[in-house]
Chain A
Amino acid sequence: MSEQAHDQLLAEFRPQMLKFARLQLQDGAAAEDVVHDAISAALEGASRFNGRSALKTWIFAILRHKIVDALRERGRTVHISSLEKDEADLDEAFDALFTASAHWHPLSRPRAWGNPEEALEQRQFWQVFETCLELLPANTARVFMMREFLGFETPEICRNLDISTSNCHVILHRARAGLRLCLERGWFNTEGSPAC
């Protein structure tokens, strides 16, 4: 792959990189900085990569490290407020899946998603996934992304956001339960189907 082709691909990835960095850092200028740094670092070694997928995997790995560094440097400056209304709404939607005795309601008991790995190959699935992420409350999504996209361990997330470990677990559960329900309704559509 020529140098020009690399430059072109990097330019193509840039909007997606910026979007991701903004979501994580909640700061437009800081997001521009990390994306700029990641692209500069990537240009130096890009010739080793052949093909779009390999280059993309690699440049997002670099971006991920830059974001992790930026978050670590920033330390405890991000404030996560106490329960917000949209978080309470999400909890209410989750609670509605259960009976009064805290067991699954017969109509909302989770059912197998078949072969969900097949969805990972479909572009439309990722659009639904991204929409579901955007529908999560901002704080909930941030904690989820720190854990699952950036690979932070939970204690570090708690320290970075200055929240208790148990609160961290509650937020991650809320995020996963919310995403699960959204994907179920938006993609897998098993809800309400017969039990067997």
Chain B
Amino acid sequence: MLTCKEATHLISEALDRPLSWPERLRLRTHLAFCSGCQAFRRQLDFLRSASRRFLTRRDEDEP
């Protein structure tokens, strides 16, 4: 069984490489029972979308 700390590494790596089938299965099983890691994953997804917006962010008052 994956620990939460291991799960955070797989969650991060999933943003950079395709996970193998066994990795995906282990992560999915872990996430099904772990609200903390579910929230962690959503937060990393948010970090990615925020980063995409970073360069063109609203930096002053625009209409």
Residues of A within 8 A of B (CB): 16, 20, 52-53, 56-57, 60, 64, 95, 98, 101-104, 109-113, 116-117, 119-121, 123, 126, 129, 144, 147-149, 154, 168-169, 172-173, 176-177, 179-180, 183-184
Contacts and interface: CB of A to CB of B under 8 A. Distances in A.
Contacts of A57: 56
A101 B3 contact: yes
A154 B47 contact: no
A184 B47 CA distance: 11
Given A103-B3, A123-B59, 7 more contacts: A64-B55, A98-B4, A104-B34, A113-B42, A117-B49, A126-B59, A169-B17
Nearest to A111: B39
A20 B1 CA distance: 42
Interface of B: 3-6, 8-9, 12-13, 15-17, 34-37, 39-40, 42-44, 46-60, 62
Given A102-B4, A176-B44, A129 B62 contact: no
Given A102-B6, A149-B55, A172 B16 contact: yes
Nearest to A112: B39
Given A109-B35, A169-B9, A120 B53 contact: yes
A95 B51 CA distance: 25
A35 to B, nearest CB: 13
Contact of B57 (A102, A111, A120): A120
